[in-house]
């Protein structure tokens, strides 16, 4: 017996009538969420899936170039993906191979929590994990007035920054940081570093992913604006990391 549900993009996904027991994840955030909720169900993940640290499952290459043959060998009940992280073409090809794919779409913290609940509870048929209930509690409430403006680079040479609308910008807004881009529109605009440094932001947050900014690679580019190195997982991942992110980012200054 099967049942049919619609994913975040409104696509019909045929699922088993019993709890899903074999999942391949093509997104690091989703991998961590599944591993923390039903670890025995995770049978495959990408090379970029780093959490939990002891994750021991077959790897299916990257988020942008998944190995469809390797995925098929794993015989998943469900492959989980994300609109931003994964290519539509790969999703279409997996579906053409007869493999069910659930695609998430996440641009805000409330949307992430609702999406996780639909995926883990409704689609996969698992019990609500403690981390999801705690994240719901921690991130409830209205967006506060900003306490500071921040620039968030995600790449250099060329420099790219977080813009709007993005999950990262919404998450930071909820801890009082307004993301600015030196006036450049878009979700991840390219902006010259001199313009970023002259934008008048209070702080530059330098994450360790996707570009690995370090004490020796990033801060030296900003002579006018204070910089802070931050854990990229805490500002870009949705899932169990949201619990840790709340207290860490509340204390950031």
pLDDT band at 184 (very low <50, low <70, confident <90, very high): very high
Digit-coded pLDDT (tens) for 93-102: 999 999 999 9
Selecting from 3.40.50.1980, 3.30.1360.20, 3.10.350.10, 3.90.1140.10, what CATH number does the domain 2-129 have?
3.40.50.1980
- Looking at residue 1, what is its pLDDT? 87
Q: What is the rounded average pLDDT for all residues in the chain?
A: 97
pLDDT band at 25 (very low <50, low <70, confident <90, very high): very high
* Distance in Å from the first CA to the final CA of the chain: 54
Digit-coded pLDDT (tens) for 194-205: 999 999 999 999
- Looking at residue 170, what is its pLDDT? 98
- Domain definitions of the chain by residue range: 2-129, 148-250
Which CATH fold topology does 148-250 show?
Rossmann fold (3.40.50)
Q: Do domains 2-129 and 148-250 have the same CATH topology?
A: yes
Digit-coded pLDDT (tens) for 164-174: 999 999 999 99
Please give the Cα distance from 69 to 60 (Å, whole number): 9
Q: What mean pLDDT do residues 201-230 have?
A: 98
- Looking at residue 134, what is its pLDDT? 98
Q: What mean pLDDT do residues 98-107 have?
A: 98
Q: What is the pTM of this model?
A: 0.94
Percent of the chain with pLDDT over 70: 100
Digit-coded pLDDT (tens) for 28-48: 999 999 999 999 999 999 999
pLDDT band at 253 (very low <50, low <70, confident <90, very high): confident
CB atoms within 10 A of CB 137: 11
Convert 34-102 into a string of H (helix), E (strand) and C (coil): HHHHCHHHEEEECCCCCCCCCCCCCECCCCCCCCHHHHHHCCCCEEEEECCCCCHHHHHHHHHCCCCEE
């Amino acid at each position: 017996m099967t049942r049919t549900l619609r994913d975040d993009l409104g696509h019909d996904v045929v699922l088993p009538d019993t709890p899903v027991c074999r999942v391949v994840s093509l997104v690091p955030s989703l991998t961590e969420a599944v591993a923390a909720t039903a670890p025995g169900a995770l049978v495959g993940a990408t090379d970029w899936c780093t959490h939990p640290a002891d994750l021991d499952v077959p790897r299916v290459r990257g988020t942008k170039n998944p190995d469809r043959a390797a995925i098929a060998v794993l015989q998943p009940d469900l492959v989980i993906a994300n609109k931003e992280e994964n290519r539509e073409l790969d999703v279409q090809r997996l579906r053409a191979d007869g493999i069910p794919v659930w695609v998430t779409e996440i641009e805000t913290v409330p949307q992430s929590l609702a999406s996780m609940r639909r995926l883990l509870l409704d689609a996969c048929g698992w019990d609500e994990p403690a981390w999801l209930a705690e994240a719901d509690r921690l991130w409830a409430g209205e967006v506060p007035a900003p306490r500071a403006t921040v620039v968030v680079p995600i790449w250099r040479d060329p420099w790219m920054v977080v813009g709007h609308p993005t999950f990262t910008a919404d998450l930071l807004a909820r801890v009082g940081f307004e993301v600015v881009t030196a006036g450049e529109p878009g979700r991840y605009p390219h902006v010259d570093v001199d313009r970023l440094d002259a934008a008048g932001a209070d702080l530059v947050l330098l994450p360790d992913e996707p570009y690995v900014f370090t004490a020796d690679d990033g801060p030296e580019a900003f002579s006018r604006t204070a910089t802070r190195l931050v854990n990229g997982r805490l500002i870009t991942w949705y899932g169990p990391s949201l619990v840790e992110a709340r207290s860490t980012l509340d204390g950031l200054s």
